[in-house]
């Protein structure tokens, strides 16, 4: 039976690398994967999933109002789709996560989503929140903090290197993010030491 998967991590854990490797494995076996990424990552209206390792692949773009169930059904009607891969899944909205669940339930196509769990303020992204609630399989992809502990949080740094604690949830400039363990994140954003009465 097809399932909805959510693989999540902090920044720079290798999510896109794993997605591209899995898509390659499908192709190597003569199967057809269908890749999606957020329109926030469009370059001249072209979708591209890129890994820090230097590999990349073209992908369909999705935006906030898109009906992913219908888009995938249209692709499937044209030629069999063996698996759907979604990069930057944190940017999906509530309805789109349910549309992807219907792809696995009704079209019987596995859907593998990859994305961040939390933003730089330690809050869940909408797409991640819904995926954590309804995905059949949850997988944490691990990366490490500079102290060697598991990194689960990210901070956003300004151009001056200072840690930002407010602002828009979405900023796609990857170079301004740093993955930290919870302890070092709390120190970086000024939540520790706690100032009491």
More confident residue, 172 or 110: 110
pLDDT at 164 over 90: no
> Distances from the Cα of 189 to the Cαs of 47, 51, 153, 183, 196, in angstroms?
33, 28, 11, 10, 17
pLDDT score, position 172? 59
Q: What is the pLDDT of residues 105-150, one digit of tens each?
A: 999 999 999 999 988 888 899 999 999 999 999 999 998 998 999 9
Above pLDDT 70, what percent of the chain? 92
Q: In the annotation, is 88 catalytic?
A: yes
The set of residues, in sequence order, having a beta carbon less than 8 Å from that of 188 and lying 6+ positions away, is: 155, 163, 180
Do 67 and 16 touch, CB atoms closer than 8 A? Answer: no
Q: What is the pLDDT of residues 25-76, one digit of tens each?
A: 999 999 999 999 999 877 778 888 988 888 889 999 999 999 999 999 999 9
- In total, the chain counts a number of residues equal to 197
- Going by DSSP bridges, is the β-strand pair 33-38/83-86 parallel, antiparallel, or unpaired? parallel
pLDDT score, position 167? 64
Q: Which of 28, 88, 130, 140 is catalytic?
A: 88
**100 HSE (CA, 13 A, CB side):** 32
| Residue ranges of domains in the chain | 4-142
pLDDT score, position 45? 80
Class of domain 4-142: alpha beta
């Amino acid at each position: 039976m097809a399932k909805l998967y959510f693989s999540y991590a902090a920044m720079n854990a290798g999510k896109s690398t794993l997605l591209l490797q899995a898509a390659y494995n499908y192709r190597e076996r003569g199967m057809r994967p269908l890749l999606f990424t957020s329109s926030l990552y469009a370059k001249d209206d072209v979708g591209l999933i890129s890994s820090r390792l230097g590999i990349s692949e073209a992908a369909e773009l999705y935006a906030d109002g898109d009906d992913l169930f219908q888009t995938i059904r249209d692709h499937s009607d044209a030629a069999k789709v063996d698996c759907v891969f979604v990069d930057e899944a944190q940017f999906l909205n509530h309805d789109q996560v349910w549309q992807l669940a219907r792809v696995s339930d009704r079209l019987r196509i596995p859907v593998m989503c990859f994305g961040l769990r939390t933003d730089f303020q330690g809050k869940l992204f909408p797409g991640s929140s819904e995926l954590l609630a309804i995905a059949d399989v949850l997988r944490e992809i691990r990366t490490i903090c500079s102290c060697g502990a598991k990194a689960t949080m990210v901070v956003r740094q300004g151009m001056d290197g200072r840690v930002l604690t407010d602002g828009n949830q979405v900023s796609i400039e990857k170079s301004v993010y740093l993955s930290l363990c919870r302890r070092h994140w709390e120190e970086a954003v000024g939540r520790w030491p706690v100032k009491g009465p």
